[in-house]
């Protein structure tokens, strides 16, 4: 019988893509999501042996129940917004740190083989060294970044103290279909491309020359599947990005070109907690996981725009 994987936050943007990749490989999937930001519509494309548990990470009994017969946990669930963590650090701490500890405790007690934890490049903060490599001293600029750093620390402790296999993947700026453009805390690509597609004025916080390592979601899902089995990855933190950086202004120019629309952005003051430049050193991912980003930025943006246009 195929193994069962648990995807926390599996109705969300990245989680649903991981679930889809697992199902396409013939595995059984259980999704754990409170649907606070995840959407049932994200699950419409999923075909295969999948069951959905609607519950909250802070509910320890529900987390424990979800671990029955599970081999690998892909822990994606979080309040994953820098501005939201600044606005409500108490709740985001409970979910992002307390919830992660609940997942690790339940996984340990149920004999789960491995937990793959979604961490973030946000913990690097504003550092002059680029590209960012995993041995750099973290310099978090937001509660969210601190929470992800704490999650990595918990993973390391559960591996060293309890023998639970863990891998922490530091995502850079993930984009692709199913990313919500409507939220007040929406990431740059869905929010800005949606504005362009609707003929509205895209609003840029800062001068637009800030750079990001945009990585297409299919690459991230594949990295998670690799991390679930790579022996050398146990106990490691690993950057997952494209290894390239693109400015917000350049991203907008490419999006406007793909859409065939004029570009007249509105610039506003930069937001607190945002970093100026970001780019991943992905050499560790290449060595430990055999990871290579197979979908480049322009192709990924093309697919993303197609999904936005299709939804109207």
State the pLDDT at residue 154. 98
Q: Which residues of 271-298 are buried (b: 16+ CB within 10 A; e: fewer)?
A: eebbbebbbbbbebbeebbebebebebe
Mean predicted confidence (pLDDT) in 73-98: 94
Alpha helices in 50-142 (DSSP H): 60-66, 82-87, 89-93, 99-109
Report the C-alpha gap between 104 and 99 in whole angstroms. 9
State the pLDDT at residue 1. 57
How far is C-alpha 188 from the chain's CA centre?
Answer: 14
Q: What percent of the chain has pLDDT over 90?
A: 84
Report the C-alpha gap between 132 and 27 in whole angstroms. 34
More confident residue, 200 or 274: 200
State the pLDDT at residue 185. 55
State the pLDDT at residue 2. 73
For 243-259, the pLDDT digits (tens) are 999 999 999 999 999 99
| Domain residue spans of the chain | 4-175+215-241+280-293
Structure tokens at 102: 């609940």
State the pLDDT at residue 34. 96
Report the C-alpha gap between 81 and 79 in whole angstroms. 6
State the pLDDT at residue 108. 98
For 183-242, the pLDDT digits (tens) are 655 578 988 999 999 999 999 999 999 999 999 999 999 999 999 999 999 999 999 999
More confident residue, 44 or 7: 7
CA 16 vs CA 21, 125, 232, 283: distances in Å: 9, 28, 26, 26
State the pLDDT at residue 286. 98
List the one residue out of 22, 5, 271, 311 whose CA is nearest residue 122. Answer: 271
CA 170 vs CA 18, 22, 73, 131, 285: distances in Å: 15, 20, 16, 13, 10
State the pLDDT at residue 159. 98
First to last CA, the chain: 41
Mean predicted confidence (pLDDT) in 98-118: 98
CATH class for the region spanning 4-175+215-241+280-293: alpha beta
User: Sorting pLDDT into bands at 50, 70 and 90, what band is 312?
Assistant: low
Asked if residues 255 and 214 have their Cβ atoms less than 8 Å apart, the reply is no
User: Sorting pLDDT into bands at 50, 70 and 90, what band is 115?
Assistant: very high
Structure tokens at 202: 């895209």
Mean predicted confidence (pLDDT) in 281-297: 97
State the pLDDT at residue 186. 59
User: Sorting pLDDT into bands at 50, 70 and 90, what band is 10?
Assistant: very high
Is-above-0.85 flag for pTM? yes
Structure tokens at 66: 């979800």
Annotated catalytic residues are: 144
Q: Would you give the DSSP letter of residue 138?
A: P
For 27-67, the pLDDT digits (tens) are 999 999 999 989 999 998 888 899 999 999 999 999 999 99
Concatenated DSSP letters of 229-255: T-GGGTT-EEEES-S--EEHHHHHHHH
Concatenated DSSP letters of 157-214: HHHHHH--EEEEEEE-EEE-TT--SSSTT--HHHHHHHHHHTTPPPEEES-S--EE-E
Query: Per-residue pLDDT for 126 more than 90?
Result: no
Asked if residues 190 and 175 have their Cβ atoms less than 8 Å apart, the reply is yes
Phi and psi angles of residue 146, each rounded to the nearest 5 degrees, phi first: -65, -40
For 263-273, the pLDDT digits (tens) are 999 999 988 77
């Amino acid at each position: 019988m195929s193994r069962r994987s648990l995807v926390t936050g599996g109705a969300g943007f990245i989680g649903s893509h991981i679930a889809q990749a697992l199902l396409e490989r013939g595995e059984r999937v259980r999704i754990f999501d409170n649907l606070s930001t995840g959407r049932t519509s994200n699950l419409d494309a999923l075909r295969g042996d999948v069951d959905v548990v609607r519950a909250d990470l802070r509910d320890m009994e529900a987390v424990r129940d979800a671990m029955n017969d599970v081999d690998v946990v892909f822990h994606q669930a979080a309040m994953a917004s820098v501005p939201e963590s600044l606005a409500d650090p108490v709740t985001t701490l409970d979910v992002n740190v307390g919830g992660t500890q609940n997942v690790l405790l339940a996984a340990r007690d149920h004999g789960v083989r491995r937990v793959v934890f979604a961490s973030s490049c946000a913990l690097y903060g504003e550092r002059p060294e680029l590209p960012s490599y995993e041995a750099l001293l973290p310099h978090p600029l937001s509660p969210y970044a601190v929470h992800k750093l704490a999650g990595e620390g918990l993973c390391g402790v559960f591996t060293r103290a309890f023998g639970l296999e863990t891998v922490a993947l530091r995502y850079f700026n993930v984009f692709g279909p199913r990313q919500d453009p409507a939220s007040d805390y929406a990431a740059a690509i869905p929010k800005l491309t949606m504005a362009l597609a609707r003929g509205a004025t895209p609003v840029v916080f800062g001068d637009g020359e800030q750079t990001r390592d945009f990585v297409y979601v299919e690459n991230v899902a594949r990295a998670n599947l690799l991390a679930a089995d790579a022996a050398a990855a146990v106990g490691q933190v690993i950057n997952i990005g494209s290894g390239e950086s693109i400015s917000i202004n350049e991203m907008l120019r490419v999006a406007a070109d793909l859409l065939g629309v004029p570009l007249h952005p509105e610039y506003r003051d930069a937001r607190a907690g945002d970093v100026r430049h970001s780019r991943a050193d992905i050499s560790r991912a290449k060595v430990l996981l055999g990871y290579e980003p197979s979908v480049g930025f322009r192709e990924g943006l093309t697919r993303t725009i197609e999904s936005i246009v299709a939804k109207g």
